[in-house]
Structure 1
């Protein structure tokens, strides 16, 4: 599948990831689908998720389109929070204890363009980590319901 087809599929699957400080949420847990069987293992368990998030955040903070949204964020704290969130969402043993998405993004002025840029950065990180497209979509499907709370500029 081509990169542009991947982006289109990601955009559809990810009609709502996040943009910063952390993704997960106690409130979104009610609407987030259960983790597909084996997703945590397919992502490489905690070490694989840690590598993915490390790559993702490193790309995010330097991306010219959205890096400015992260200038006041400590990358290490963001990485820890996202690792726990991705781990929990994928069916791993981690416990995300960060802010809910609505609170975390309330004052960030995030529009659809910012959101789409973030999706592209996440896709690049997943590609670089060798995560198969099917597994990417499985993770993105878990993140997608969060878009309603992340995009704050309609």
Structure 2
């Protein structure tokens, strides 16, 4: 079921994606998703759990070990807060610039989404609200995944 959710969210994001950065994506009109995630304290707790899981997962850990993990968590909280209709404004780099030289494959992106789902499950976020957030995050895949050269990348 989780794999199906991931595929659906990524497919929806691919269809909706226009290459715009997250900073340019308008927030939903309602703050209901923000409230469902526990507002800012809930997002902070979610990202604390998420970072622990990212670092522990052999698929994602190598991408996050060298990063300033506190800063990554803070930026993720800002992004999710803004996307979910909260009062935050994301001030970090656009996704394309931030990930340009990181050689991120589709499988890396999918692994990150799986880990995020594990964290959302652990924090008791309702499945429907998880889907809503994933649908908002999915369009970033075009800016985060490094384009394949000559079709050799998975």
Task: Place the TM-score, normalised by the shorter chain, in its bin.
Answer: 0.7 to 0.9
**Is 1:6 matched up with 2:10?**
no
**Is 1:45 matched up with 2:27?**
no
2:137 aligned residue (133, 143, 154) = 143
**2:48 aligns to what?**
54
Listed as ranges, the gaps of 5+ residues in structure 2 are 14-19, 149-154
Change (3 A) 1:86 1:16: farther
**1:96 aligns to what?**
90
Matching of residues 60-99 of structure 1 within 5 Å: 60-99=54-93
Kept in 2, the 8 Å contact 1:84–1:94? The answer is: yes
Kept in 2, the 8 Å contact 1:31–1:145? The answer is: no
Kept in 1, the 8 Å contact 2:21–2:140? The answer is: no
TM-score by length of 1: 0.83
Aligned pairs, number? 143
Change (3 A) 1:128 1:62: same
Instruction: Summarize deviations over 1:31-51 as a string: whole Å, max 9, x none.
Output: 567365511111111111111
Larger Rg: 2
Kept in 2, the 8 Å contact 1:40–1:91? The answer is: yes
Q: Secondary structure at the match of 1:9?
A: helix
1:130 aligned residue (124, 128, 133) = 124
Q: Please report how far the alpha carbon of residue 111 of structure 1 lies from its aligned counterpart in structure 2 after TM superposition.
A: 0.6
- C-alpha RMSD of matched pairs (Å): 2.3
Separation in 2, partners of 1:60, 1:133: 20
Separation in 2, partners of 1:16, 1:74: 31
Q: Please report how far the alpha carbon of residue 6 of structure 1 lies from its aligned counterpart in structure 2 after TM superposition.
A: 2.6
TM-score by length of 2: 0.83
Q: Please report how far the alpha carbon of residue 14 of structure 1 lies from its aligned counterpart in structure 2 after TM superposition.
A: 3.5
